[in-house]
Structure 1
Amino acid sequence: MTHFDGWENTWASFDDYTVAAFQQRTGLDARRDLILGDFSSTNFRKWIDFRIATLTDFLREIRDNARAINPTIMVIPEIYPGIEEEATRVGADVYEMYAAVDAIAHEYEFGEGDHMASSRSQLDWFLYQAGMLSFRAFAQGKATWILNYSWDGDKNVDPREAMKNLAMSQVMVGANFWDAPGHVMAGSNDLPTRALIFDWIEKHERNLYSPRLPMHPVGVYFSPKSRDYDQDSFLPSYRGVLVLLLQKHLEFQVVTPRTLSAYYGEVLVLPSVSFLEEEEKKGLRSFVKQGGRLVITGKNATGIASSEKVKWFEDCPGRTHLQALQKDFARGSGESVEKFLDAVNVESGLKVDASPTIAANMALVEGKPHIFLANFAGLVPHKIAVPEAERGARITVSNTRKCSLKFLPFLGEVQVVHGQEVAQHQEFVLPRVERGAVVWLDECH
């Protein structure tokens, strides 16, 4: 479907079988009763829902039939769209599909360009982080494979460096790395580098792939219907909020309609969420009633009045932040969003001080606080594929216990870092962060 010009506006397919199935489900004639691309139309929204449900049901049927023969078989589809508008246009929504399969292999790309690691801007890298962390939330413990491409003849970039950037960016979010040359799944751009990467992953897979549990997160709500029906409003807000939190090195947890009832964080951000089912509204009211704080940005579909527990930013700070980064990444990274950050503040006892070109995500792994750092400083599309090393990054721990800190650089070995006591805190100055690193507290007493 996506391999011909103009596919984005076809909203296919309109074959006889599909038209009949849609009419049976909705009573509508897909060839006559739809205004394609009119997201305000109830009929067109039904077509969007039908296409997504049909493809999801198809995968569920494959899995059910396969498991009827072999109960241990695993169904792992390869899906192109991610969290962005392509999911709605293609009808392949990985949020819905994760519930119907055993894992997903994401051939993940969005927007324009060739999507190679060698051609990504710094903002691209952060947006991919936001997307992959969303996948991990959708998966609810299932595996996430990323089938992206590192290099395809870019003359000014060493393919080995592009491979390392791509692998680092994926393992730091807990996704599985796949190495491939160009747009071909077989082979490698450099077999020794592939071996180096996978040997390191194997050696440290417990830190990378053990279950990651939330500690003191800022919840950020992914609204499938807002993405489907109001993508121009929701997507910049949602992605902008995630990028902002990554740059500010604040722990966050993507919350979805499937996980809302199990979310126990203190605060939940609704980034321009314009469509909510009644069950979602009920869950949000329950969250506030139990003492949770809602921070609503942009559009507000909750029906919940503002109060001490409900803060509304009419202009979404996430959207504003993303727009600033799109104009000038370096300058945008430093722009103030203090009122929003104050509203989502959660006392966690764990603070990361590093440059905004470092993306940080945090989780509890095997009972120990872990911080996963991805460094995108200095990367320039088609020119520079070796990040500028981060010097002097600090981890501050508010803890009456004394701990040591383990520092695992990407493709390196574990180092022990000892902290200094500063005003009833422990402060750890990290070694140089070159591409990325995993940091965790250990041996607390």
Structure 2
Amino acid sequence: MKRRFFLLLLLVVAGGLLGLMVLRDPGYVLISWQQTSIEMGLWLGGLLWLLSLVAAVTVIDLLFKLLGFSDWWARFMNGRRQRRSQQAFEEGITRLERGDWQRAERQLFNAARLSSHPLPAYLAATRAAAQGQMWERAEKYLVLAEERGNRLVVGLARARLLLVAGRWEQAAVLLAHLHDRHPGEDAVRRLRVEVLMRLQRWADLADVLPQLQKAGGDDSQFPQLEKRANREVLAWIGQTVGRADKAYTIRRLQAYWQALPTRLRGDEELQAAYAGELVRCGADDEAEALLAATLEKQWSNAGVEVYGRARSLRPDQALARAETWRDAHPSNPVLMLTLGRLCLQNRRWLDARAYFEAALALRKSPEAYAELIRLLSQMDDRAAQRYVVESLGHMSARLPDLPLP
């Protein structure tokens, strides 16, 4: 309201001053052509000239519209602008691939400024600025691209920009936001998997991978990656046993295990990992029962190894069950190691020694050496020294041949 009043007042003052000038010196204009002459006041002549100019421009514009010249001119100028944009874009991409980041950025920005579809040029300019570590300018191009639409594509470009800058945590937050807004977008999930792997955020990764596979992700690495993520989560829960009540940790392990889909709970590697964490937390009987049922159906070296570490309340039954597996796997070093450990639980020292030696005969493993040396040391058997030397020789077999004192 105040602005309108000020403009009105300004017009009144200007009109008054103009009127005073006309009264003081009206002047005159003389137009002569052949035998005809026209004389009028200067101010009236100026007004007529201005009105004639406006009328001429109006008539010309009307004729252009009637004849279609305006549309032709607009198309001509737009085509010329698009050709310049395309040329700048091609030059910018060429310089970008050659590593001339600064000139590429300038050419691509010009291409975006001239183009009616500037998104590709803005994204390419972002890439050029990022390669030159001009992060602020790269973000400016993304903002300009976002104003022209397709926020999903711009969001993915921004996430990749954060990755190039090493800002992985911020990229993870952005990708989580994009995933919430575009849950069916395969590219978002794949990039999020890459970021979560780098950050080792296994719980989030275990949630994302099933969705990606369900949506038709055909990456052959996804099943193994999913199993690894769940193993890491189980290990993380098990590691909290020293900071929390054992019973509480066991309940958390059980709840997480039951929440897994059937296909994962039937995997022998995950079963062994779950049983191993139960053993760590003191739930040996539950681990033994799980592995006993599993190993009867599907053999697993990892499961057999955990079975030997479980401290059963019925060690004689655990040993008897494991001995039934020996007929089907007579040359399995992991089974021999497990039988030796179960013999220790049953205080059958000589049988334990025989099994440990059989395991070493099949494979020179540090675990078998350690178990045998520990047993022989407690039995005051001089053979322990021989096995110590042998184990050290086995561990140092790859040392270079160097002079010794």
Tell me which structure has the larger Cα radius of gyration.
Answer: 2
State TM-score, norm by structure 1.
0.23
State TM-score, norm by structure 2.
0.25
Query: Which protein has the bigger helix share?
Result: 2
Structure number with greater CO (CA < 8 Å, separation at least 6) is 1
Query: Which protein has the bigger strand share?
Result: 1
